[in-house]
């Protein structure tokens, strides 16, 4: 993924589309907002590939079964953010 900092560069739409044709483009504004420019078909393909990744899907299924929750205090203690 290529990152374009719009505070430093001012590419034309045609230039951005040319870049996105090769790889997804992350557009970052001066305020720090981020946008992704990607071909729609590529996104659908990536979703399908993720769904076929058995190890990742198993991990996500396991995580979705977890019922333990933490209070904000407990989370801060676990992450040493006291």
- Predicted confidence at residue 48, as pLDDT, reads 82
Rounded to the nearest angstrom, the gap between the alpha carbon of residue 32 and the centroid of all alpha carbons in its chain is 15
- Domain that residue 9 falls in: 1-38
- Predicted confidence at residue 46, as pLDDT, reads 81
Cα–Cα distance for residue pair 8/45, rounded to 1 Å? 32
Same domain, 48 and 72: yes
- Those residues whose C-beta lies under 8 Å from the C-beta of residue 57, and which sit 6 or more positions away, are 50, 51
pLDDT, tens digit (0-9, with 9 covering 90-100), for 26-68: 999 999 999 989 887 778 878 887 888 899 999 999 888 888 8
Same domain, 33 and 49: no
Same domain, 4 and 22: yes
Same domain, 14 and 45: no
Instruction: Give the model's confidence band at 74: pLDDT under 50 very low, under 70 low, under 90 confident, else very high.
Output: very high
Same domain, 44 and 79: yes
Domains in the chain, number: 2
Q: What is the CATH number of the domain that holds 21?
A: 3.40.1620.10
Same domain, 18 and 56: no
Give just the sign of the alpha carbon dihedral 36, 41, 42, 45.
positive
**For helices 54-65 and 40-52, what crossing angle results, to 10°?**
80
């Amino acid at each position: 993924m290529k990152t374009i900092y719009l505070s430093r560069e001012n590419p034309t739409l045609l230039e951005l589309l040319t870049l996105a044709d090769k790889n997804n483009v992350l557009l970052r504004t001066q305020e720090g907002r981020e946008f992704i420019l990607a071909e729609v078909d590529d996104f659908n393909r990536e979703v399908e590939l993720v769904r076929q990744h058995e190890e990742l899907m198993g991990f996500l299924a396991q995580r979705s079964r977890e019922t333990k929750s933490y209070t904000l205090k407990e989370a801060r203690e676990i992450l040493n953010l006291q």
